[in-house]
Amino acid sequence: MWEIGVDEAGRGPVLGPLVVAACAIPTKDIPLLKAIGVKDSKYLSSKRRKEIETWFNEQAEERGWKKSLINCTPRRIDTALMADGLNWLEVRAFGEALTGLQIRESVNITNDACDVNEQRFTQRISDQLLTWPWKDSQMQSFHKADERFPIVSMASILAKEERDRCIAELAAMIGQSVGSGYPSDPNTKNALHLLISNEGIHEDVRWGWATATRYWNNNCIGDVPVRGAPRTVQHSLFDEDDASIS
């Protein structure tokens, strides 16, 4: 029997991806997670998360443990917001992560519920999986599952570490710390001028986030850019030839 946990990192930030991680280990190995100190990623230091991630990867080599990571880019997030919303994006990403594990029977899946309705979240994810229900398998979703189930805590660590790597790559690219990417982070706020300007908005910014649109409206010219739509430039009201937005 396999225990599978699925969790996400980065739902709220204005910068970087939303990462969904799924991990699978044999039920008999669950005590190893507890022994090493696996817990919800937000209760661990960055150093400790890295150590546990490295340990998990070693166990994957030795014991055949599995993981699957789905990076939902800011472009994909903005596109989802213009379509059916963030909850449905997470449903699809959870389904993709589970599919990526390539296990189709004898699994007990536990999701960290991103929907106010836990049962609805389970149903929507199961609808994403080909041939579900799988043989000798079950799925459930719970709020704060990352605090209650070690296998989901492990998934939260893997998701957090993957997202942190993406944020570190962005910081290296622009030559300045971007903080956590959350709108309330002073380092994130201080980096916005390097990511949002009259030249456009960086690909690693979630263009549809209020933080990005507010910064644009306060500091840039023209309408806020929209993913997949042509740029617009605001003309002077005294331009007699054409005073419209083009």
pLDDT, tens only, 194-225: 999 999 999 999 999 999 999 999 999 999 99
Distance CA 198, CA 190 (A): 17
Distant-in-sequence, close-in-space partners of 215: CB < 8 Å, separation ≥ 6: 192, 196
Number of other residues whose CB lies within 10 A of the CB of residue 182: 16
pLDDT, tens only, 89-111: 999 999 999 999 999 999 999 99
Residue 17: closest CA among 87, 69, 73 = 73
Angle subtended by helix axes 210-219 and 186-195, to nearest 10: 60
pLDDT at position 44 is 94
Q: Provide the residue ranges of all domains of the chain, joining segments of one domain with +.
A: 2-168, 175-219
H or E element that contains 24: strand 18-26
Type of residue numbered 229:
A
**How many CA atoms, within 13 angstroms, populate the side-chain half-sphere of residue 245?**
9
Length of the chain equals 246
Instruction: Evaluate whether 132 touches 13 at the Cβ level (below 8 Å).
Output: no
pLDDT at position 29 is 97
Coil, helix or strand for 91? helix
pLDDT at position 234 is 43
- pTM over 0.85, yes/no: yes
CATH 3.30.420.10 corresponds to the domain 2-168: yes
For tokens 């106010």, the residue is 116
**How many CA atoms, within 13 angstroms, populate the side-chain half-sphere of residue 62?**
7
Q: Into which CATH architecture does domain 175-219 fall? A: Orthogonal Bundle (1.10)
Low-confidence ranges of the chain (pLDDT < 50): 233-246
- Sheet of 138-142, strands arranged across: 66-72, 18-26, 2-9, 107-112, 138-142
pLDDT at position 228 is 74
pLDDT at position 238 is 30
Q: Give the pair of three-digit tokens for residue 64.
A: 């055949």
